[in-house]
Amino acid sequence: MSSKRQDNNDVENPSQVTNIYISDSVINRSNIGNKIETTTESKPKEDVPSDYKKYKGKVLKIKKLRKHFPVKNVWGKNIALVKALDGVDLEIEGGKTFGIVGESGCGKTTLMRTLLRLVEPTSGSVLLSDEITNNKFSSNKLEELTSEELRNFRKQIGVVFQDPMGALNPRMLIKDIVSEPLSIHGKTEGIREKVIWLLNNVGLGEEHLYRYPHEFSGGQRQRIVIARALALDPKILVLDEPTSALDVSVQAQILNLLNDLQKKYDLTYVFISHDLSVIEYMCDRLAVMYLGRVVEEADTEDLFSNPQHPYTRALLSATPSFEKQKEKIMILGDVPSPIVYLDESKAKLATEITEQERLEIKAIEGKGIEYIVRSSLNEHLSLKEVAPSHYARVK
């Protein structure tokens, strides 16, 4: 109960928080900013309901999740599988930020889609906690929910995609974009107030209601997407590379906004990115994915100070930084194809050094650069606990 009262306090006194965004986003950004400031301060916010509840523990448990896409030949016969997810085990804690890193094609986005059941997993399950099911669902397994329950479940998860312009309909007004989830889920009254409240929450204001997406800058568009994702008071927010299309200064604004929203509403974030500096800043716990498997999972500080898997080490050292001259570990060779042929005599993932890798080794020979050959990562090892709550696929 006390926590609820605290939330209400937050809502009653939003000017403090919203002012922070405004001071971030629109200092010197001419007249638009001033307008926001005046409107947000004059707007009372108490009437907007908020049933955010503080909760602890694991909200989602992913068990041995697999998603294999079939590859067909001309006659429609399955000849191979793309193992986009190949046995992923994760536990996502409430109120924290869980990061997923990996290069393109490693299965980050497929994992996100399977979490929302936008694609059906081949096997494995996603277990939902009581906070999400509210003990109203027939099962706590995501794949066993009926379509009605699935609709209720999707209310609890908001999604923010990478490219805001692609995620916003260019022919819809901001008012319609942000209120669409509300009307889909049967809310008829107080929509306008709720939309204004949502826009204020992300540092925009009432005067933006009747505009189209193309009239906004990249950072503002991303704010609109975040406002829409928050429309149904979700408990979990899935962020798929939310800042990779933005400049560093705008990225800093969005990250600050996300941190503030998390503190205010105790949201759980699933943060997908390939930018390690962003991940290090945002996340509490982190999973590194490679070819559809989690190769290392640990608390962020642990993972950055003591990386165990060779791929993680290479990834950390490949991130360009200007702070300190760290030892360089180059990763040689091209990303292998995740296609696995059913016919075993056909191409298998090479575990020996390939032609390109031999060339690249020759090129950096004698320069004192440490290197990892990519084909050596193709060996399948099991996940081990190398330190308390630090798992890695190492020998």
Partner 1 sequence: MLEIEDLKTNFNTYDGVVKALNGVNLTIKDGEIFGLVGETGSGKSVTCYSALKLLPKTGEVVGGKIVLNGEDITHASEARLRQIRGGEIGIIFQDPLSALNPVMTVNEQIGEILVLHQDEEIKNLASEKEIPTYKSKKFQASPGVEFTILAFCISFISLFVMLGQFTFSLPFLFLIGMMFLRNYLQRDLPHSALDLMVIDALSRVKLPNPEQIASSYPHELSGGMQQRVMIAMALAGKAKMLIADEPTTALDVTIQAQILQLIKDIQREENMSVLLITHDLGVVAETCEKVAVMYEGKIIEEASVDQIFKNPQHEYTKALIEAIPKGGKERLKVPDIGEPGAI
Q: How far is the CB of 372 from partner 1 (least distance, A)?
A: 9
Query: Site map for partner 1, 249-268, x if CB under 8 A?
Result: x-xxx-xx--x---------
Q: How far is the CB of 160 from partner 1 (least distance, A)?
A: 17
Answer for which of 123, 321, 351, 389 binds partner 1 (CB under 8 A) is 321
Burial (CB count <10 Å: 0-12, 13-18, 19+), residue 226: buried
Beta carbon nearer to partner 1, 170 or 320:
320
- Smallest CA-to-CA distance from 67 within 52, 48, 86 is with 86
Q: How far is the CB of 319 from partner 1 (least distance, A)?
A: 5
Query: Site map for partner 1, 96-135, x if CB under 8 A?
Result: -------xx-------------------------------
Residue 205, SS3 per DSSP: coil
Size of the site for partner 1 (CB under 8 A): 51
Question: What are the distances in angstroms from CA 261 to CA 10, 45, 56, 153, 347?
Answer: 11, 16, 17, 21, 48
Question: What are the distances in angstroms from CA 156 to CA 28, 230, 321, 360?
Answer: 37, 9, 37, 48
280 near partner 1, judged by CB under 8 A = yes
Q: How far is the CB of 375 from partner 1 (least distance, A)?
A: 13
Answer for which of 272, 278, 289, 392 binds partner 1 (CB under 8 A) is 278
Check: CB of residue 329 under 8 Å from CB of residue 313: yes
Query: Site map for partner 1, 3-42, x if CB under 8 A?
Result: ---------------------xx-xxxx------------
Query: Site map for partner 1, 325-364, x if CB under 8 A?
Result: ---x-xxx-xx------------------xxx-xxx--xx
Answer for which of 298, 315, 373, 392 binds partner 1 (CB under 8 A) is 315
Check: CB of residue 201 under 8 Å from CB of residue 261: yes
Answer for which of 276, 291, 294, 392 binds partner 1 (CB under 8 A) is 276
CA distance 193 to 166: 26
Rounded to 10 deg, the angle between the 191-201 and 14-25 helix axes is 60
CA distance 149 to 146: 5
Q: How far is the CB of 297 from partner 1 (least distance, A)?
A: 19
DSSP H stretches of helix in 237-338: 248-265, 276-282, 300-305, 310-318
Query: Site map for partner 1, 216-235, x if CB under 8 A?
Result: -xx-----------------
Beta bridge partners of 390: 387
**Residue 141: DSSP 8-state:** B
Q: How far is the CB of 26 from partner 1 (least distance, A)?
A: 9
Q: How far is the CB of 253 from partner 1 (least distance, A)?
A: 5
Residue matched to tokens 């400031």: 37
Question: What are the distances in angstroms from CA 61 to CA 50, 65, 126, 240?
Answer: 26, 10, 6, 19
Residue matched to tokens 């974009």: 177
Give the other-Cβ count within 10 Å of 305's Cβ.
10
Residues forming contacts to partner 1 in the complex (CB under 8 A) are: 24-25, 27-30, 103-104, 217-218, 247-249, 251-253, 255-256, 259, 274, 276-278, 280-282, 301, 304, 314-315, 318-323, 328, 330-332, 334-335, 354-356, 358-360, 363-364, 369
